[in-house]
Chains A and B, each alone.
Chain A
Amino acid sequence: MSDKWTPRIVVFQCQYCLYSEADQKWMDTQLPPHIKLIQVPCTGRISPLFVLNAIQGGTDGILISGCQPEKCHYKEGNLGARRQLDAFRRFLTYLGLEEGRIRFAWIDVSERGRIQQELAGLEKTIQAMGPITRLATRAIPVGEKR
């Protein structure tokens, strides 16, 4: 694996889960360009469509970061997300996507610095796997006509 290759990562973040101001500031301003932050109201908002778009567009890894169970801002939004996205991840695995490219991080409000650890962990996994090859077949959004 060449050292020059940097994986491209999308982070879906629920807008409530990162408690500390320092972490949020880091996410907002100091994120390296190969990582894209997309904020959603709740992890429950993350449609499989978004994940599919990211994968097919050639993203190497996806981190989904939400609140801990029982601590969801929308009562049970993160539970719905876990149910739906975990099933979708298993389906993608069945289609040939390596396990580990989609990572969930349920971060408690007091876990300062955990998001950086999770990102570093995901990056390491993907470095070991190499660039995405399966399913990354599109150059335009899913649903849009060529």
Chain B
Amino acid sequence: MVDAARHPKVDIRTYTEVERVDGYVGNFKVLLREKSRYVRADRCNGCGECARVCPIEVPNYFDMNLAPRKAAYVPMSQAVPLVYNIDLDACIHCYKCVEACGKLEAIDFSMKDKLVWEDVGAIIVATGFSHFDPSVMPEYGYGRYPNVITAIEMERLNNTAGPTAGNVIRPSDGTNPRRLAIINCVGSRDKHFNPWCSNFCCMYGIKNAVLLKQTYPDMDITIYYMDIRTPSKGYEEFYDRAREMGIRFIQGRPSMITEDPETRNLFVHSEDVTLGRVIEREYDMVMLNQAAVPQPDVDTTSSVLNVTQSPGGWFMEYHPKLRPIDSPNDGVFLAGACQGVKDIPASVAQGSAAASRAGRILHSDQWEIEPIVAVVWEDRCVSAQGKKCGICAKACPYGAIEYEQGKAAHVVTAKCHGCGGCVAECPHNAITQMHFTDAQILAQLHALLAERPEEKILAFRCHWCSYGGADLAGVSHFEYSSNERGLRVMCSARMDADFIYEAFRLGAGAVLYSGCHPQDCNYITGQRLGAARAERLMKAFEKMEMTPGRFRVEWISAAEGDKYARVINEMQAVLNSIPKEKLMEEIERLRPEMEKRARRLREVPQVEEALEYSRQLEIAMVGEEA
């Protein structure tokens, strides 16, 4: 930290919040709120005279509120930069600190928060994690029994720079505990609170036990665990060492802790799974290894940076295996536990990787993006004609579309990732997606349904998930109906309702509308856009009294090849169950309605040429064969 602070090219802004982020990769504009410390950083030399004279004491959050600090304070002596801070919530305005500061005149009660705009090329999010509060689990009595403490409190007690100078004592009477229980998985691997495994608790529980055993060889330490997880290098050996040191391991999740009201000793009730018997053991102190949870203000951070969250509130990476450091937002990178629980080596590795990913952006003058971006036909955009619209801007998951009434919508190309949501949503066909134009998709659709369309199952697949699922079904040799015809688009958001109507107008037997599961969407919220549209379509077809099952909506991940095959086979079964005459009759009955609804597609520029071209091609091909 000190090295970083001294580095000429590193600028550390502490006590500062990011309020707003504008711009795009390489050209971000960031609004920072530098909060007022009421001590001027350029004058304070960190002597600490102000804290010495300050008469107010409040609990120090850095010491887990176990020790006091003054209203004029630094949270810890190694703080970087060593600039004091006045906690105005606690301050009584006696101004003794101003006197003590003397000629330096560093203390300035008239300071205000400063708002600063900064230009940055890339952003790395490394906001870390927070701790689960075990007081919501009444069975463990944290907060009720003084001698039940959390692992972080133990960390402070056992630290030579901590409130007790490294002397581990019982909060109830100040004696050293002789018998200590450590309970793993408090709030983690528990569906009531956090279903995930917190990854590092097994190891830091063992670490704390080993450290305590070294300091207090007589201490009787027992670790209660469900499973001990030691996956990384050297971890299993460390676990062995702990066992050799005489640390006791009991497999069994304690159901409850009770307290003797006189001695304040604790009784841990658990099943010893090895014995198959319930045991109650007495301890002087109990330490809870609580779960790691996302920071409480994770929602604010993700909305400011436009970074999504995966289930549980961790920041979402671009791809879980292949791009674990990039966020879906170009130029914003993730490092450390804010992306998912990880231990120190993994956090350091991810931090270094994020720095080099960011370096790639800073060192290049140009940035390549996918060419599949959206483009606005300005003459067709109704906003340019002064009408109120802005549907495209609302649909965009990246905030890449700038909309102002009276001007045509504008796509910031560097921000656009090419999901095609705006293209499908625009009611005036004023946006197109390069390489996935309406004309191109329509030409594919016509070709796929050229012959005997009533027997075909037309499957709209999203590039990242259901297309991968279909691919896997093929690679894995899962058999499914050969009447299936796949049509790939980038995201379910691109699956325009008009395409579905057009497919049924051409007489398709069945249509599958498939994409990613909501939490897997490669385009942040693209799937949700698609899902909402699919729901509207489903209702419309219900109203038209279409046979249920001819239009189907399924979310299939790239790993679910079996599901893809099953869905297609089920759709084939639906088609088989309808008598042919009845199916043809239904297609004819619905055709006028479908025609009416898909009519708008004909107004799209280039559609007629594309269809004419594909028709010529077809004639040419069939002619050759004949």
B259 interface residue per 8 A CB criterion = yes
Contact indicator A112/B280 (Cβ below 8 Å): no
Contacts of A110 in B (CB 8 A): 138-139, 141, 256-258
Quick one: CB contact mask for A96-125 with B, threshold 8 Å, 1 for yes? Answer: 000000000000011111000000000000
Any chain A CB within 8 A of the CB of B231? no
Q: Which residues on the B side are within 8 Å of A22 (C-beta)? A: 260, 267
> Contact: B261 with A113, CB < 8 Å?
yes
| Distance, CA A74 to CA B578, complexed state (A) | 55
Instruction: Give A5 to B256 CA distance when docked, in angstroms.
Output: 41
With contacts A19-B269, A20-B280 taken as known, whether A112 is within 8 angstroms of B256 at the C-beta atoms is no
The complex places the Cα of A55 from the Cα of B182 at a distance, in Å, of 50
| A-contact 0/1 string along B240-266, CB 8 Å cutoff | 000000000000000011111110000
Smallest CB gap from B258: residue in A: A112
Q: Least Cβ distance of A68 to chain B in Å? A: 12
Please classify the interface of chain A as helix (H, G, I), strand (E, B), loop, or mixed, using the class held by over half of its residues. loop
- Residues in A with CB closer than 8 Å to B257 are 110
Query: A3 on the interface (CB 8 Å rule)?
Result: no
User: Which of A19, A21, A109, A112 is within 8 Å of B259, CB to CB?
Assistant: A112
B417-450: CB near A (< 8 Å → 1, else 0) gives 0000000000000000000000000000000000
Tell me how far the C-beta of B268 lies from the nearest C-beta in chain A, rounded to whole angstroms. Answer: 11
CA–CA, A36 and B315, complex, Å: 63
Q: Which residues of chain B are within 8 angstroms of A112 by Cβ–Cβ distance?
A: 258-261, 267
Q: Which residue of A is nearest B261, CB measured?
A: A113
- Cβ B260 vs Cβ A109 within 8 A: no
| Chain B residue contacts of A109, Cβ below 8 A | 256, 258
The complex places the Cα of A117 from the Cα of B43 at a distance, in Å, of: 62
Interface string of B324-358 (1 = CB under 8 A from A): 00000000000000000000000000000000000
B209 to chain A, nearest CB (A): 26
Q: A111: nearest residue on chain B (CB-CB)?
A: B258
B258–A21 contact, CB under 8 A? no
Q: Considering residues A20, A22, A110, which has the most beta carbons from chain B within 10 angstroms of its beta carbon?
A: A110
Number of interface residues of B (CB under 8 A): 13
Residues of B within 8 A of A19 (CB): 256, 258, 269
With a CB–CB cut-off of 8 A, which chain B residues contact A20? 258, 267, 280
Q: Residue on B with the closest CB to A114? A: B261
The chain B residue with its CB closest to the CB of A23 is B258
Inter-chain CA distance A111–B145, complex, in Å, is 12
| B139 in contact with A113 (CB, 8 Å) | no
Chain A contacts of B138 at CB under 8 A?
110
Residues 12-71 of A contacting B (Cβ, < 8 Å): 19-22
Closest to B265 in A: A112
CB-CB < 8 A to B256: which residues of A?
19, 109-110
Nearest CB on A from B286, distance (A): 14
Could you tell me which residues of chain B, from 395 to 418, have a CB within 8 Å of some CB in chain A?
A: none
Is the beta-carbon distance between B280 and A21 smaller than 8 angstroms?
Answer: yes
Closest to A112 in B: B258
Cα distance A19–B139 when bound, in Å? 13
Q: Which residue of B lies closest to A110 (CB)?
A: B258
List A contacts of B139 (CB < 8 A).
110
Contacts of B262 in A (CB 8 A): 113
Min distance, Cβ B161 to any Cβ of chain A, angstroms: 36
Q: Could you tell me the distance in whole angstroms from the C-beta of B262 to the nearest C-beta in chain A?
A: 8
Q: Which partner residue on chain B sits nearest A19 by CB separation? A: B258
- How distant is B270 from chain A, measured CB to nearest CB, in Å? 13
Q: Which residue of A lies closest to B269 (CB)?
A: A19
- A36 CB to nearest chain B CB (Å): 25
A112 and B267 alpha carbons, distance in the complex (Å): 10
How long is the Cα–Cα vector from A22 to B261 in the complex, in angstroms? 13
Task: Report Cα–Cα, A21/B280, bound state, in Å.
Answer: 7
Chain B min CB distance to A135 (Å): 36
Residue of B nearest to A20 (CB): B258
B145 to chain A, nearest CB (A): 10
| Nearest CB in chain B: distance from A98 CB, A | 30
* Nearest Cβ on chain A to B284's Cβ, whole angstroms: 15
A19 and B267 CA atoms in complex are apart in Å by 11
Contacts of A21 in B (CB 8 A): 280
User: B267-298 toward A: CB 8 Å interface, digit per residue (1/0)?
Assistant: 10100000000001000000000000000000
The smallest beta-carbon distance between A107 and chain B, in angstroms, is: 12
Contact B269 A113 (CB under 8 A): no
How distant is the Cα of A111 from the Cα of B267 in the complex, in angstroms? 12
Least Cβ–Cβ distance between B395 and chain A, in angstroms? 49
A119 CB → nearest B CB, Å = 15
In the complex the two chains form, what is the Cα distance from A73 to B256 in whole Å?
17
| Distance between Cα atoms of A65 and B260 in the complex (Å) | 20
Question: Once the chains are docked, how many angstroms separate the CA of A127 from the CA of B95?
Answer: 62
Mark out the residues of chain B between 115 and 150 whose CB falls within 8 Å of any chain A CB in the assembled complex: 138-139, 141
Q: How distant is the Cα of A112 from the Cα of B144 in the complex, in angstroms?
A: 13
Closest A residue to B139 by beta carbon equals: A110
The docked-state distance in angstroms from the alpha carbon of A22 to that of B267 is: 10
Q: How far is the CA of A110 from the CA of B256 in the complex (A)?
A: 8
Q: A19-B256, A112-B258 are in contact. List 7 more A-B contacts (CB 8 A).
A: A20-B280, A22-B260, A22-B267, A109-B256, A110-B139, A110-B257, A113-B261
Nearest 9 CB-CB pairings of A with B: A112-B258, A21-B280, A110-B258, A113-B261, A20-B258, A112-B260, A110-B256, A20-B267, A112-B259
A-B contact pairs, 26 of them (CB 8 A): A19-B256, A19-B258, A19-B269, A20-B258, A20-B267, A20-B280, A21-B280, A22-B260, A22-B267, A109-B256, A109-B258, A110-B138, A110-B139, A110-B141, A110-B256, A110-B257, A110-B258, A111-B258, A112-B258, A112-B259, A112-B260, A112-B261, A112-B267, A113-B260, A113-B261, A113-B262
